[in-house]
Amino acid sequence: MAQRVHPIPSSAALATFRHLGDPVIESSAHDAPIAVTPSGPPAAGHTPPPLSPPRIALLGNPNTGKTTLFNRLSGLRHKTSNFPGTTLEARLGRVKLADAAAATDPAGPPAHGHVADLIDLPGIYSLDLDQPEAILCRDVLAGRARVGGGAGGGRAAPPEAVLIVVDATNLGRNLVLVGECLREGLPTVVALNMIDLARRARAEPDARALAESLGCPVVPCGARSGEGLDALRHALADLPARTEPRRTIPDLRAWAFEAASRAVAGRPPTTTTAGRTFTDRVDHVVTHPLMGAVVFALVMGGLFFTLFKLARYPMDAIDGLFAGNPGWAAAWQPDWLAHALGAGLTGLTRQLLPAGLLADFVADGVIAGVGATVIFLPQICLLFFLISLLEDTGYLARGAFVMDRLLRPFGLPGHAFVPLLSSHACALPGIISARGVPDARERLTTILVAPFTTCSARIPVYVMLITLLFGHRPTLAALAFVGCYALGILAAVGSAALARGTILRGRSRPMALELPTYKIPSLRTALLTTWDRALVFLRSAGTNILAICIVLWWLGSFPHVAPPARADQLRADAQALVERSAVAESPDAVSDAYTLAQAMNAEADHVERAHAKSSSFLGMMGRAAQPVFAPLGYDWQLTIGVLSSFAAREVFVSTMSIVFAGEEDSSRDGVFQKISAATRDDGTTPVFTPAVCWSLLIYYILAMQCLPTLAVTAREAGGIRWALLQLAWMSLVAYAAAFVAYRLALALGA
Amino acid sequence: MRVPIEDWQFWTTTLAAILAAAYVARGLLPGGILGGRANQTRATLTVEGKKPGRPLAR
């Protein structure tokens, strides 16, 4: 049963309570009486209600459930996982304290004193470490930090108290941090989290004994199950006062293990419980040098197989929504819906808006542009859902451990595994999660090489080019797809080795990663993570990518030019054919003439559009930049595609579909057919020869082509120079490799 | 070669393109120009306006 435990405010214990962390406390706390008070009045010496809500810093070792508790108390839903170091920045949330409901007018805002601002901080093992997370925590506790935005409004002040979350199954190590806070004289409340796991392992600590040892309130709770949260709200409503730091605990580690021993006295030690034995047995396999690598390959293979197998169906559905119904969807839809969605949102827009520039703008600039990106939403959602489930089981930390052996020769630590894995969905979260890499040089290396891994935005380009290369040979197409991923990883680790041997030279820090206990993954956490990622992606598609598509549409639509002579000739011939057929007597001859005239008019439209595109501002830019890409085999049309996708590589496919397929095409097969049949200005040489396809494929595997990634690199690496270095290196590697691939393919007769 | 300046739809789409270009440029330019990203308030931790990164002065 959840309960709040703290020393009774007797004269001796009251002094203890006023001077938490003082030498007097520890020596007197052993004989202080204990009271269990689920909701008692504030004792003398407690902090009076301040003018603004009190601030409570949430501290604890990594992976003790701080963010889960933070989410539970504040009603927010920040990312949580069963992986150490998930929280990488401080966050603020307002917490309703125990008596808020009774004391507050429901119609009005909650009175100060009944709410508190909780600051969720990254997990740390000690305040004294020289790591970014520890520095953040020290700055928050010293009042030098400001949490911008949110409920706190960016106020910089020391927190009124500290709520330390400790893992009830691993008290000895967790109490070191508690001791440090007590030593600094910080008013401290201890949340004894994962009490349900400790109970199940028959190793539940005695909260009373622990409170007595520590001299501060100790609340057993389970952040996942919600157990003990009411008691915790009571404890936070009744905060102890701040004291002057006046003493140091001489041997913090010995003190912590002594306190832990007293709390679990008489109970079997956790290392011999059934749960630990099971964990040890599983770990023996999954962290084994050989078997661990096999398990890792199987898990990752299963993850990507599931990803590509399952994501195809919702992707088809989204494609149908924007571009037109796929056959399987039309089969079960009522006629009216199939008719309305027959040409997708693009066609619907053209039906609703009168023909003109505005209709073209909405249909081709906005809907088609965003649709070409949103189609990849299912893959991104599924990848993050699966990664979240893996994290929650506790396996991902083992995966990082296994990867440490493989990455270490390239100068990367096992910590880099999670950023590199995340980058396979999108480089942005991957680079941000590199904050979990403790060593500064290794962190910077991880940031610089993470964009080499194949992100979701590359997939449409791969699909297009591999389909053009191996359209009717699925086995070769699958191998080429795997090869794209492999080349990206090789480029990443190779570049890492080069960076670590030159500009980021330095000794590697040994990897120390706490392996969390295995848990059944939380579906709720996985779904919330997926939802958050989907929102981020949709926000990007609805802002940056939409803006780029609009600009591209405008540049590709103006200035207007007169139709070329060939288009005029085709239309005139078609008209003459129709007129001649009017005097024909055979109905079959009339029908044939009309069919042929239609085809000639369509060809005339195509020729006119191609001419207009070539003469547009975008076409001019493509022609101007074409000499740079000529050695790679690209003509001006492909150069437009490469330039337009500089900001976001997935734009390449939509640009190609606009340049080659024409606006009226809505089916994907039609687009592929027209792209594969596209010719250069001479009208006979194909644009997409096998050599050009290989060159483009290699280029897109290795090139940066992502503006948001550069911005995030500049922010995370601490300067734009790193982003420019990343851009220059990736562009150089991509250009050189594409050149070699093109020449090699030509030499082999491709 | 001409630009349809007599068509109000041209001006509407041009305005949208200018706004879109400004939005894209906003992410690239330093703070203060077009309200660049550096001026955005984010719910992240700063110390006197800068990211923490120095040892604690005790």
Domain end marker among A237, A271, A305: A271
Tell me, yes or no, whether A621 lies in a domain.
no
pLDDT digits (tens, 9 = 90+) for A124-160: 888 887 666 777 788 888 877 665 444 444 455 788 8
Q: CB of A98 within 8 A of CB of A39?
A: yes
A654 belongs to a structural domain: no
Chain B neighbors of A620, CB-CB under 8 A: none
pLDDT of residue A440: 83
Residue type, A444: L
Helices marked H in A82-170 — which ranges? 100-103, 132-141
Work out how many domains chain A is built from and give that number. 2
State whether A357 and B45 contact (CB < 8 Å). no
Q: What was the pLDDT predicted at A747?
A: 95
Distance, in Å, from the CA atom of A67 to the CA atom of A525, rounded to the nearest integer, reads: 11
- The burial class, CB within 10 Å (0-12 / 13-18 / 19+), for A262 is middle
Nearest to B1 among A145, A615, A708 (CB): A615
What pLDDT does residue A397 have? Answer: 81
Q: How far is CA A486 from CA A128, A482, A491, A582, A629, in A?
A: 41, 6, 9, 62, 25
How far from A257 is each of A128, A261, A515, A541, A664, CA to CA, in Å? Answer: 19, 6, 20, 52, 73
Q: Which residue has the tokens 């609703």?
A: A352
DSSP helix/strand/coil, A219: strand
Min Cα separation B47/chain A (Å): 4
Neighbours of A215 (CB within 10 A): 27
d(CA A21, CA A185): 5
Rounded CA-CA distance A548/A644 in Å is 8
3-state helix, strand, coil in chain A (%, to 5): 60, 5, 30
Q: Is the CB of A560 less than 8 angstroms away from the CB of B3? A: yes
- The rounded Cα A511 to chain-centroid distance in angstroms is 23
Residue A536 resides in a domain: no
CA dihedral A86, A91, A96, A98 (to 10 degrees): 60
Q: Cβ–Cβ of B21/A546 closer than 8 Å?
A: no
A91 beta partners: A120
Task: Specify if A347 maps to a domain.
Answer: no
Rounding to the nearest 10 degrees, give the CA dihedral for residues A4, A10, A13, A18.
90
Specify if A124 maps to a domain: yes
Predicted pLDDT at B46:
41
Two tokens, residue A622:
């493509």
Classify residue A694: in a domain, yes or no: no
CB < 8 Å to A557, chain B? 13
- State the pLDDT at residue A247: 57
- What residues of B are in contact with residue A711 (Cβ under 8 Å)? 27-28, 37
Q: How far is B32 from chain A (nearest CA, A)?
A: 16
> In the block, which residue shows the tokens 């964990």?
A279
Taking alpha carbons only, the member of A92, A161, A165 closest to residue A124 is A165
Is A361 near chain B, with CB under 8 Å? yes
Model confidence pLDDT, tens digit, residues A336-375: 566 655 567 877 888 888 889 999 899 888 887 777 777 7
* ipTM exceeding the 0.95 mark: no
CATH code of A205's domain: 3.40.50.300
Identify all chain B residues contacting A718, using CB atoms and an 8 Å cutoff: 51, 53
What one-character DSSP code corresponds to residue A515? -
Q: Which of B23, B44, B47 is nearest to A148 (CA)?
A: B44
Residue-range definition of the domain harbouring residue A597: 560-607
Rounded CA separation A63/A51 (Å)? 34
3-state secondary structure of A21: coil
CA dihedral A72, A76, A79, A85 (to 10 degrees): -70
* A79 within domain boundaries: yes
A646/A260 Cα distance (integer angstroms): 57
A161-167 and A146-147 strand pairing: unpaired
DSSP strands (E only) in A674-747 = none
How many Å apart are CA A653 and CA A676, to the nearest integer?
13
Query: Residue A349: enclosing H or E segment and its boundaries?
Result: helix A344-352
Q: With residue A388 as reference, give the H or E element that holds it.
A: helix A377-393
* Smallest Cα distance from A22 to chain B, Å: 18
Phi/psi at A35 (nearest 5 deg)? Answer: -125, 145
Size of interface A-B (CB pairs under 8 A): 115
DSSP A571-618: HHHHHHHHHHHHT---HHHHHHHHHHHHHHHHHHHHHHHHHHHHHSHH
Helix axes A720-747, A440-449, angle to 10 degrees: 40
The answer to whether the CB atoms of B37 and A711 lie below 8 A apart is yes
Which pLDDT score, from 0 to 100, does residue A578 have?
86
Cβ atoms of residues A293 and A402 within 8 Å: yes
Q: Which two tokens stand for residue A659?
A: 């340049």
Nearest to A554 among B7, B13, B46 (CB): B13
Name the β-bridge partners of A190: A164, A218
Check CB contact under 8 Å for A361 and B3: no
Q: Is residue A74 part of a domain?
A: yes
Last-in-domain residue among A205, A238, A271: A271
What's the rounded Cα separation, in Å, for the pair A468 and A474? 12
The 3-class SS string of A106-124 reads: CCCCCCCCCEEEEEECCCC
Helices (H) and strands (E) in chain A, counts: 35, 9
Note whether A135 contacts B52, CB cutoff 8 Å: yes
- Residues near A735 by beta carbon (within 8 Å), at least 6 away in sequence: A632, A699, A703
Per-residue model confidence (pLDDT) at position B9: 94
* Pair A25, A237: CB distance under 8 Å: no
Return the pLDDT at A640.
Answer: 85
Q: In angstroms, rounded to a whole number, what is the distance separating the alpha carbons of residues A740 and A632?
A: 8
Last residue of a domain, one of A223, A256, A271: A271
Q: Would the CA dihedral through A516, A517, A520, A524 be positive or negative?
A: negative
Segment-wise mean pLDDT, segments of 10 residues, chain A, 750 residues: 34 31 25 28 43 81 84 70 53 71 42 71 80 77 64 61 88 85 84 86 83 86 87 82 58 77 65 59 88 88 78 79 60 59 74 89 83 76 84 84 84 84 79 80 93 86 86 80 89 95 83 76 84 78 79 89 90 89 77 88 82 86 93 91 80 74 46 74 84 96 87 81 94 97 92
CB contact under 8 A, A145 and B47: yes
CA distance A547 to chain B (A): 4
CB-nearest partner of A148 from B13, B23, B43: B43
Q: How far apart are CA A94 and CA A2, in angstroms?
A: 23
